[in-house]
Amino acid sequence: MVLAVVKYFYKKNMYLNIQEKTIKEDFSMTISKNLEGDKLTVAVEGRLDTVTAPDLESELKSALEGVKELVMDFTKLEYISSAGLRVLLAAFKKMDAKGGKMKLTNINEMVREVLDVTGLMSVLTVE
């Protein structure tokens, strides 16, 4: 039942009252795209999780036509889940299949640790 509430409010601040403690959660994600020639930079801000991953997947599907280099800027990415990793792998496979390149930049320690634990540090290009 909580998942439905989170899904409904994912682009707004949500307040949960649990055992008389108020916890503020922000389930939002912002995607910014910048196309320069055949290089697309996608900046992701917030949380890349089960709720927000379909949004990024949709944005990437529509934006990768004619792109030879994809840069994912994670300067402001706070969290990534397995759903977010799936979107990254799908984008990597699509770029690789057409002879393009993909790299992740400005990842924080939490994202780096997730990539390490899953073995994706050896698959994806990380700067």
Q: How high is the pLDDT of residue 26? A: 54
pTM of the shown model: 0.77
Instruction: Please choose, from the candidates 44, 50, 47, 46, the residue with its C-alpha nearest in 3D space to the C-alpha of residue 7.
Output: 50
74-97 burial: b if 16+ Cβ within 10 Å, else e: beebbbbeebbbebbeebbebbee
**Which amino acid is present at 127?**
E
CATH code given to domain 26-126: 3.30.750.24
Tens of pLDDT along the chain (127 residues) come to: 233 233 333 444 444 433 433 334 556 788 889 999 999 999 998 899 998 999 999 989 988 999 999 999 999 999 999 999 999 999 999 999 999 999 999 999 999 999 999 999 999 999 9
Q: How high is the pLDDT of residue 12? A: 42
